[in-house]
């Protein structure tokens, strides 16, 4: 969002890319083949070549959608690291490790019967 509380064009474009990717991901292979055959018939291209093109486009969009999903996470991880902060998962992991160590120490401190 920009300073006025509205989405920037970059944010809007990224949102559209992700939604388009999700739409493509929701297509089954059969539906993609049907679509390729329909396009091939309309354009006058060999169906096999069009299926390959649709599958390549499908793979490309899937890759871009996966990559777009990881970029914000990577950027936030770098920002946290620069600020010397840790993620909640890391704090939770340390808490679990501490609890395990405390348990082991209590077991060692128990007098033998």
C-alpha span between 109 and 61 (Å, rounded): 59
- 3-class DSSP assignment, residue 59: helix
Entry field: residues in the chain: 113
Integer Cα distance of 79 and 107 in angstroms:
41
For helices 29-43 and 47-83, what crossing angle results, to 10°?
130
Judged against a pLDDT cut of 60, whether residue 2 lies above it is answered with: no
Is 105 part of any domain? no
pLDDT digits (tens, 9 = 90+) for 43-86: 888 989 988 888 888 778 777 767 766 666 777 778 878 888 88
Q: Does 75 fall in a domain?
A: yes
Helix axes 9-26, 47-83, angle to 10 degrees: 130
pLDDT digits (tens, 9 = 90+) for 74-99: 777 788 788 888 888 888 999 999 99
- The answer to whether residue 33 is domain-embedded is yes
Number of alpha carbons in the 13 Å side-chain half-sphere of residue 77: 7
Does any domain span residue 112? no
> Which domain, by its residues, includes 53?
9-85
pLDDT band per the 50, 70, 90 thresholds, residue 100: very high
């Amino acid at each position: 969002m920009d300073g006025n509380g509205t989405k920037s064009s970059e944010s809007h474009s990224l949102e559209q890319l992700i939604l388009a990717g999700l739409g493509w991901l929701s297509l089954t292979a059969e539906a993609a083949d049907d679509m390729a055959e329909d396009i091939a018939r309309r354009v006058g291209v060999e169906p096999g070549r069009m299926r390959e093109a649709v599958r390549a486009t499908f793979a490309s969009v899937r890759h871009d959608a996966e990559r777009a999903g990881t970029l914000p996470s990577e950027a936030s991880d770098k920002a946290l690291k620069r600020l010397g902060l840790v993620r909640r998962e890391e704090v939770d992991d340390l808490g679990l490790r501490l609890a395990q160590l405390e348990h082991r120490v209590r077991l060692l401190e128990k007098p033998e019967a």
